[in-house]
């Protein structure tokens, strides 16, 4: 087994939802021992959509490779156990609303006092400072706040939200890279730090070029090229992209629209953008005459850029996806068989089964307490007092 970059690193993870758990999961997949500290009722991210047992798809997708202990952070036992964990952790992460973790006694300064070299990361909606810092928010609201919905507008100009939690997932990626470099500094120089990661900043970083373009173009960013978009065919949709002049001419010749290919008003990049309605009208008139597969058979051999608009089943079943190893399938206890997207730089999921398991609520509590030096009698007493939840038996998935 190849060693993970973060083997030997301990992460105390208070985060819930998507953004923080995504970042800590990536640390876990690279070898870190991520101890997920969740409330006795479980991370609220376990209830995003359909639920099977103690999991939804999102909680499995973003909590693989971790260990869970379910703690009442206001109970004497919970406080004592978390302080012991924090004292030996290399990284501490939290995603409470700004100020909450400090009131609980586990803020950056509290942890730094017992663990001077700690890398401490707070993940929030709007960040730890500023007039909106304590304002509650979610992914869709940050899409609206950051300009993403205007960038993603419908053809009629209506701002549109991405159909997935794009900002949360992106925040997880930016948080992971921030933690990775902080851990490197910690390893090289023995220095800890505080990281203020937010959905707002991540959304801006993701759209960095669009923010510049907005200023560059005085608030009227141009269409990059034409045509580019999805169009209805006889049996679905096809995405076409004809940025270069020879692609434009060839595409319309191949679909039998020489009138558009040779139209003097459409010869040149600026001319095509200026006369976009004429191009769109021609594509809408012509492409429904054949199936997506028929058009691809005509266009792709001539290097005209196009792809079938797939759903997720189409993607998972595609021979290229299978042969390239883009997806593996795992068994999640209590849920069943699920697809996992393999990540560059990591072993395939099928080669790393222990790091694909998403823990149930408090599943690893007994082991974690034992590692802290508690004997079995003490562990039983802690569970009986209720400050830390005893793990429940997990039902097997239906055949």
Question: Which letter, b or e, does each residue of 321-351 get, where b requires 16 or more Cβ atoms within 10 Å of its Cβ?
Answer: beeeeebbebebbebeebebebeeebeebee
Q: What pLDDT does residue 184 have?
A: 98
The C-alpha atoms of residue 220 and residue 158 are separated, in whole angstroms, by: 16
**Is-contact 197 122, C-beta < 8 A?**
yes
pLDDT in tens, 56-78: 999 999 999 999 999 999 999 99
For residue 68, list its beta bridge partners. 36
The percent of residues in the chain predicted with pLDDT above 70, rounded, is: 98
- pLDDT at residue 243, rounded to an integer: 78
Which pLDDT tens digit goes with each residue over 312-353? 999 999 999 999 999 999 999 889 999 999 999 999 999 988
Instruction: Count the Cβ atoms, other than its own, within 10 Å of residue 318.
Output: 15
Which segments in the chain show pLDDT lower than 50? Answer: 395-399
CA dist list (Å): 189 to 12, 32, 185, 397: 21, 20, 6, 48
Q: Which of 72, 202, 193 is nearest to 125 (CA)?
A: 202
Torsion of CA 82, 358, 195, 98, to 10 degrees: -70
b/e per residue 77-98 (b: at least 16 CB within 10 A): bbbebbebbbeebbbbbbbbeb
| Beta-carbon-side half-sphere exposure of residue 183 (alpha carbons within 13 Å) | 23
Q: Say if residue 176 is exposed, middle or buried (CB neighbours under 10 Å; 0-12, 13-18, 19+).
A: buried
Rounded Cα distance, 147 and 152, in Å: 9
* Per-residue pLDDT, 394: 57
């Amino acid at each position: 087994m190849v060693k993970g970059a973060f083997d030997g690193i301990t992460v105390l993870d208070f985060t819930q939802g998507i953004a923080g758990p995504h970042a800590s999961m990536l640390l876990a997949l690279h070898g870190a021992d991520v101890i997920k500290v969740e409330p006795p009722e479980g991370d609220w991210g376990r209830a995003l959509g359909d639920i099977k047992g103690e999991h939804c798809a999102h909680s499995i997708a973003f909590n693989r490779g971790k260990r869970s202990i379910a703690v009442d952070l206001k109970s004497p036992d919970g406080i004592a156990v978390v302080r012991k964990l924090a004292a030996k952790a290399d990284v501490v992460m939290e995603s409470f609303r700004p100020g909450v973790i400090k009131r609980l006694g586990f803020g950056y300064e509290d942890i730094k006092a017992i663990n001077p070299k700690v890398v401490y990361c707070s993940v929030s909606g709007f960040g730890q400072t500023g007039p909106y810092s304590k304002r509650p928010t979610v992914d869709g609201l940050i899409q609206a706040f950051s300009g993403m919905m205007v960038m993603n507008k419908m053809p009629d100009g209506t701002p549109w939200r991405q159909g997935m939690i794009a900002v949360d997932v992106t925040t997880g990626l930016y948080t992971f890279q921030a933690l990775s470099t902080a851990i490197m500094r910690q390893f090289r120089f023995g220095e800890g730090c505080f990281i203020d990661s937010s959905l707002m900043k991540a959304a801006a970083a993701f759209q960095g070029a669009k923010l510049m373009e907005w200023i560059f173009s005085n608030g009227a960013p141009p269409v990059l090229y034409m045509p580019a978009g999805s169009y209805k065919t006889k049996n679905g949709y096809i995405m076409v992209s004809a940025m270069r002049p020879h692609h434009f001419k060839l595409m319309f010749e191949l679909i039998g629209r020489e009138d558009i290919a040779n139209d003097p008003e459409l010869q040149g990049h600026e001319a095509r953008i200026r006369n976009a309605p004429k191009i769109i009208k021609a594509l809408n008139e012509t492409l429904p005459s054949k199936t997506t597969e028929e058009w691809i058979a005509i266009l792709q051999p001539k290097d005209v850029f196009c792809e079938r608009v797939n759903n997720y089943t189409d993607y998972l079943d595609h021979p290229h996806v299978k042969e390239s190893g883009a997806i593996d399938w795992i068994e999640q206890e209590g849920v069943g068989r699920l697809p996992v997207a393999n990540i560059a730089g990591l072993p395939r999921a099928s080669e790393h089964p222990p790091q694909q398991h998403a823990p149930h609520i408090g599943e690893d509590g007994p082991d974690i307490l034992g590692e802290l030096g508690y004997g079995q009698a003490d562990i039983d007493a802690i569970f009986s007092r209720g400050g830390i939840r005893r793990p429940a038996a997990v039902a097997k998935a239906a055949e």
